[in-house]
Amino acid sequence: MQFFGKIKTVHDLEYIVKAYVYIPLTDEEITVEDLEILLKKKNKNVAGTMFLYNPYTAPIGYKKEEKLAYQDFKFDDKFHPLQLEDQVRIIAKAIKQQYKGKLVEVKYLFNYNKEDIQPTSAIEVFEMDLEKLHTNQLTVFAKKDNYHDYKNISYNGKFIFFAWGHKFEKSHTNSALYASNIAQWAKKQNKEIGFVYDGVRDEEGSFEYTRFFHPISFGKLKTVVPEAINKVFANEVIKPQKI
C-alpha cells in the first residue's frame, strides 16, 4: 500500500490538506504521476473515504518528529509519497481484498500534522477557533487548511468509514458539534456508512454522538477494533460493526 498527500504550511503550522492511500493490485507501486492520472477519473478510481482524527506523518525520506520547514522541504502544492500511518494501514488492510487497484481518500477531522494532539493545548485552541469558523474573525489554525466546511466536503466512491475516535471531552462542545455536523451531512450523501461502536449506545445513538472507534486502541481493544474493522469491509455492503 502507498500513501500520498499534499502538505501545506501556514504561519509555521503544517497541515495534510489532501491524502489518498493506494491499494495495489499485486505488489506494484505507482508514482505521483500515476496518482494524478487516476484522480482525473475519481468516480471510477476512488473507492471511498476513511475519516480519521488528525494526521501524523511525513514525506518518505523526512523525519516526522521534526517540522518539514526545518528540513528544507518544498511546500509546492503537489502530492508527495508519505510514510504510511498505522491508523491508515489498519483500515487499508481491511479494505484491500475488495478494492484492489483503487484509491481511498483519507480525510481528517483536523488536518494539523502533529502527534498526540488530543491531550495537548491544541484542542483548546480548536475549541476557540471553531466558534469563529463561520465568521470573519481570525483563527489560530488556518480555517481552510485545518478545518472543514461540512456542507462543502466532496466525497467520491461508495462508502465513508468514520474512525476519528469515540469520545470528546465534555468541555469540548464545539469540537463535538463540528464532528456531528460533518457526520450528519455526510450521511445525506447516499454513501454506505461504516464505523465501529460498542454497547454504550446502539447503532443510531453511536452515530448521533459520533462514537466512532479509532483504529488504534489499547488494552483489550487493541485487537478487537481492527477485527471489527475487518468485518465492516468483509461484506459487499458496508455497515457499522458492534464490538
Per-residue pLDDT at 198: 95
β-sheet bridge partners, residue 51: 107, 162
Q: What is the pTM of this model?
A: 0.95
Torsion of CA 234, 240, 242, 243, to 10 degrees: 60
Per-residue pLDDT at 118: 75
Per-residue pLDDT at 167: 87
The pLDDT confidence band at residue 109, using thresholds 50, 70 and 90, is very high
Going by C-alpha positions, the residue among 32, 21, 47 that lies closest to residue 156 is: 47
pLDDT in tens, 179-208: 999 999 999 999 999 999 999 999 999 999
Per-residue pLDDT at 78: 97
Residue 236 pLDDT > 80: yes
